[in-house]
Structures are given as structure tokens and as C-alpha cells.
């Protein structure tokens, strides 16, 4: 059953606050269901200039139009606040309308408020590479509301499931911010995920009544990132290189292929991260930059060889790093050159090293996926399954073992 409220806004002179120059402050009185609350309009006039019949400054008074226009704006803003409260399903009282008018009932009211709040309070918690992506999402959001609402901003009350679907549709059909970076399905889903993180903040702060993403499901296209087979990895290892830079990139990439370290974790590897394990052998003990998960990785012989190769010198700005690691962009550029020299027709990036470690170095050699998950520093086994691929060679070997076992069983039965 819909509740009907009585509501009114009138302007009056607060005589007990008369100023030294004789002017009296003008207040707006908000009344809901017989209960009232007053708010200052920031204007004052002489009592002789005030019309008690109209609740406005007398029209013949100098400056009356400017004050009366402001009073009309106050009236409209208070009325709009009342409308917003009803639309949001909030409790309607004179005090709640007053607080809405003053902007004190919720910390965030508009989409731009939310974007600014996220910049001020959340962005600094993110890695630089992640934080910069929110800038593109913000630009797309502002372009979207300009097209859909013909406005530069919208109230958070407009952000509902319909808004979410409309934004997704806009991204699928709009012109990309950069021609060189077209919006793919997975890119669109990333923008939707960023919007979801921001609206979740608004929902938790009680700035929006319902979670607009409650029924939305992000659908990512599965992308098989390239990895090196063990034969291709050996080709990379044995490649004779005269260029020092290519040699650095090759060695660090191969090191990551045998340890599963990400680019940033390999770049930040320090002497104190290499420790003697309980088995008497060398291990890497480090905390992943991305997830802060602690990982313990036994050093395989080929990874040790690379560390020993660079053991005579430390690297980095503070000369406290174990490996000479270029920028990610430069590494990826050099990896394409290395792939070409090896005759490997794959679009290699540094991240392919983790996939190579998971697929060709560990899983293909019988290491259980649970162990691989621990080595990669994943919190969920499902994340590791994205990296895991069952190779034909591994299938062939497993089936060969199965055939032997079946034959053995048949002999016993016979």
C-alpha cells in the first residue's frame, strides 16, 4: 500500500535573529505530515520589504527579482529532494528532506560524486597498472550519460539494472577512445567490472537502495594465452645471442619459465628471497606483488644456473636486485624478436612464462595441479585451471600407462 504524505514548503522571516542593520534572515520551512524543519536560505531583508501574502520579497523592492529567483531555486531543490527520497524508498520526514537538500543525508549523491570518492579513497590502494584503467572507464561512463541523458551528471538513483545493461550496450556500439585499442568483449567486461566495484561502494554506503549488478553476469571469452612447449623452451635456452639486451631478456624469461614468477615478482627478486629450504636445497621465498600471497618455490637447476650467471653483480636503482630486468614493454618487444630468431610463431609476452611453467614444465611432467597452484601463488584452484592445459604428449603417456596397467590386470585374471 502506497503511503500518502502531506508536504509543504513556505518561506518566512526569522525575527528573533534580526541583524544589527535591521534585516531579518529568510528561512524555508519544510513540513511533512505536520512535522516541520527549518533551513536558512542565506538571504535577509527588511521586514517592510517582505510580502507575507506571497512569501516573497515585494516586487518593487530593489534586488527583489534576484532574491526571489534564488528562493524559487531553493523551493525546487527541496521539492526535488523529496521526490528523490520517495523514488529511493527512503523514509520521508521534514528532517530527511532537509538533510537531502543540504546534501548531508548520504556521502554520495551523483555519479561524479562516486567517481571522485573512488579516486580519493580507493585508487591509491591499487597497483598503478590497475588504477590507470579506471580513467578509461570513467571517460566511457561520462560519454555514455551525455548521450543517454543529455547531461554531464546523473543522480545515483538512476544507476539500476537498466543503467547497467544500457552501459554495456553503449560500449558494444560506441567509438573507442583510441582507434588502436578497439573494445573487445573481454575489454567491455573489464569496464563493467570496474563500474560494479564502484557501485558496490555506493551500495555499501547506503547511497543506492539496490545493487544494480545483482542480476548481471560478466561473460568473458576464454583466451588461450600462448606458452612454449618444452622443445621451444630448449630452443630459447640454446639461442646464441650477441646483443646483451636480448640476452638479459631471454635469461630472465627462461628463469620465469622455470620458477613461475610473474614479471614484477622476477623484477623485484632480491638476495634475501633465496633461502635454504628444509630439504637442504635453494628455494625462493617471496610474496606476490599482485595478491600479496606468500609463495615458496624450489629452485630447479636451470633457474639456479641463471641466478649464478648474474651472481657477481646486483641490479636496479638501489643495486639490490638479483636479475637485470627491463621494463615490461621492452621485455615484450624483445621477446617477439627472440621468438622470431627461434622460429617460434607465437605472440610471446612475459606472462607466457607463467603459462609455460604451469603447462610444459610442471603439469606435463606429472606435477599435481594442487602443487602447481601453490607454486603459482593462486588462492583458488579454479585460477590455476585457466593456466592448465592437458598436452597431447601427456595424454599419450597417461594412456600408455593405463594400457600397461590394463594388460597387467588381464594377465592376473587369466
How far separated are the first and last CA of the chain, in Å rounded?
A: 80
Which helix (H) or strand (E) covers residue 45, if one does? strand 35-46
Query: Residues 327, 316: contact at Cβ < 8 Å?
Result: no
Task: Say if residue 59 is in the same domain as residue 165.
Answer: no
Which helix (H) or strand (E) covers residue 302, if one does? helix 301-309
Residue 178 belongs to domain spanning: 111-204
**What is the rounded average pLDDT for all residues in the chain?**
90
Task: Say if residue 240 is in the same domain as residue 380.
Answer: yes
Domain-embedded: residue 152: yes
Q: What is the pLDDT of residue 1?
A: 47
Task: Say if residue 115 is in the same domain as residue 94.
Answer: no
Domain-embedded: residue 281: yes
Task: Say if residue 341 is in the same domain as residue 270.
Answer: yes
Among 75-84, 103-112, 193-202, 380-389, which stretch is predicted with the lowest mean pLDDT?
Answer: 380-389
For the record, the C-alpha cell of 93 comes out as 520526514
Which helix (H) or strand (E) covers residue 257, if one does? helix 244-257
Residue with grid cell 643495486, as numbered in its chain? 319
Q: What is the pLDDT of residue 66?
A: 95
Mean pLDDT of 313-328: 90
From CA 155, how far away is CA 114, in angstroms rounded? 10
Q: How far is CA 359 from the centre of its chain?
A: 28
Last residue of a domain, one of 204, 239, 266: 204
Domain-embedded: residue 285: yes
pTM: 0.59
From CA 248, how far away is CA 49, in angstroms rounded? 84
Instruction: Count up the domains in the chain and report the number.
Output: 3
Task: Say if residue 269 is in the same domain as residue 302.
Answer: yes
Task: Say if residue 193 is in the same domain as residue 251.
Answer: no
Domain-embedded: residue 225: no
Task: Say if residue 381 is in the same domain as residue 284.
Answer: yes
Q: Which residues contact 367 (CB under 8 A, 6 or more apart)?
A: none
Mean pLDDT of 313-339: 91
237: domain CATH number is: 1.10.443.10
For the record, the C-alpha cell of 43 comes out as 538571504
Q: What is the pLDDT of residue 22?
A: 95
Q: What is the pLDDT of residue 389?
A: 63
> What percent of the residues of the chain are helix, what percent strand, and what percent coil, each to the nearest 5?
50, 10, 35
Last residue of a domain, one of 204, 220, 242: 204
Task: Say if residue 284 is in the same domain as residue 323.
Answer: yes
Task: Say if residue 41 is in the same domain as residue 66.
Answer: yes
Domain-embedded: residue 320: yes
Partner residues linked to 285 by β-bridges = 296
| pLDDT per residue as tens digits for the range 141-159 | 999 999 999 999 998 989 9
Task: Say if residue 52 is in the same domain as residue 143.
Answer: no
| pLDDT per residue as tens digits for the range 367-394 | 888 998 899 888 888 777 776 665 556 6
Amino acid at each position: 500500500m502506497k503511503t500518502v504524505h502531506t508536504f509543504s514548503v513556505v518561506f518566512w522571516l526569522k525575527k528573533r535573529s534580526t541583524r544589527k542593520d535591521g534585516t531579518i534572515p529568510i528561512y524555508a520551512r519544510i513540513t511533512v505530515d505536520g512535522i516541520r524543519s527549518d533551513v536558512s536560505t542565506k538571504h535577509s531583508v527588511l521586514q517592510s520589504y517582505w510580502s507575507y501574502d506571497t512569501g516573497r520579497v515585494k516586487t518593487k523592492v530593489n534586488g527583489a527579482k534576484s532574491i526571489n529567483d534564488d528562493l524559487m531555486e531553493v523551493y525546487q531543490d527541496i521539492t526535488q529532494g523529496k521526490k528523490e527520497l520517495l523514488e529511493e524508498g527512503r523514509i520521508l520526514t521534514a528532517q530527511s528532506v532537509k538533510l537531502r537538500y543540504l546534501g548531508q543525508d548520504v556521502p554520495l549523491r551523483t555519479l561524479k560524486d562516486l567517481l571522485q570518492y573512488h579516486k580519493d579513497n580507493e585508487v591509491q590502494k591499487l597497483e598503478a597498472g590497475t588504477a590507470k584503467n579506471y580513467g578509461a572507464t570513467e571517460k566511457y561512463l561520462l560519454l555514455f550519460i551525455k548521450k543517454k541523458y543529455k547531461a554531464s551528471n546523473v543522480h545515483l538513483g538512476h544507476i539500476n539494472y537498466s543503467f547497467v545493461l544500457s552501459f554495456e550496450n553503449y560500449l558494444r556500439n560506441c567509438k573507442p577512445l583510441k582507434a588502436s585499442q578497439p573494445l573487445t568483449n573481454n575489454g567491455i567486461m573489464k569496464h563493467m567490472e570496474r563500474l560494479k566495484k564502484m557501485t558496490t561502494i555506493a551500495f555499501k554506503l547506503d547511497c543506492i537502495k539496490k545493487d544494480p549488478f545483482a542480476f548481471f553476469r560478466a561473460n568473458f571469452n576464454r583466451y588461450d594465452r600462448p606458452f612454449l612447449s618444452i622443445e621451444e623452451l630448449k630452443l630459447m635456452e640454446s639461442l646464441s645471442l650477441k646483443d646483451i639486451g636480448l640476452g638479459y631478456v631471454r635469461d630472465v624469461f627462461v628463469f620465469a619459465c622455470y620458477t613461475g614468477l610473474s614479471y614484477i615478482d622476477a623484477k623485484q627478486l632480491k638476495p634475501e628471497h633465496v633461502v635454504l629450504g628444509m630439504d637442504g636445497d635453494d628455494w625462493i621465498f617471496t610474496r606476490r606483488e599482485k595478491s600479496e600471497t606468500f609463495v615458496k618455490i624450489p629452485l630447479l637447476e636451470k633457474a639456479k644456473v641463471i641466478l649464478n650467471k648474474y651472481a657477481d653483480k646486483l641490479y636496479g636503482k638501489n643495486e639490490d636486485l638479483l636479475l637485470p630486468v627491463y621494463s615490461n614493454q621492452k621485455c615484450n618487444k624483445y621477446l617477439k624478436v627472440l621468438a622470431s630468431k627461434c622460429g617460434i610463431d607465437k605472440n610471446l609476452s612475459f606472462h607466457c612464462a607463467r603459462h609455460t611453467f604451469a603447462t610444459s614444465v610442471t603439469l606435463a611432467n606429472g606435477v599435481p595441479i594442487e602443487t602447481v597452484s601453490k607454486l603459482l601463488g593462486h588462492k583458488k584452484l579454479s585460477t590455476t585451471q585457466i593456466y592448465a592445459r592437458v598436452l597431447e604428449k601427456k595424454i599419450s603417456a597417461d594412456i600408455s600407462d593405463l594400457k600397461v596397467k590394463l594388460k597387467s590386470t588381464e594377465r592376473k585374471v587369466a
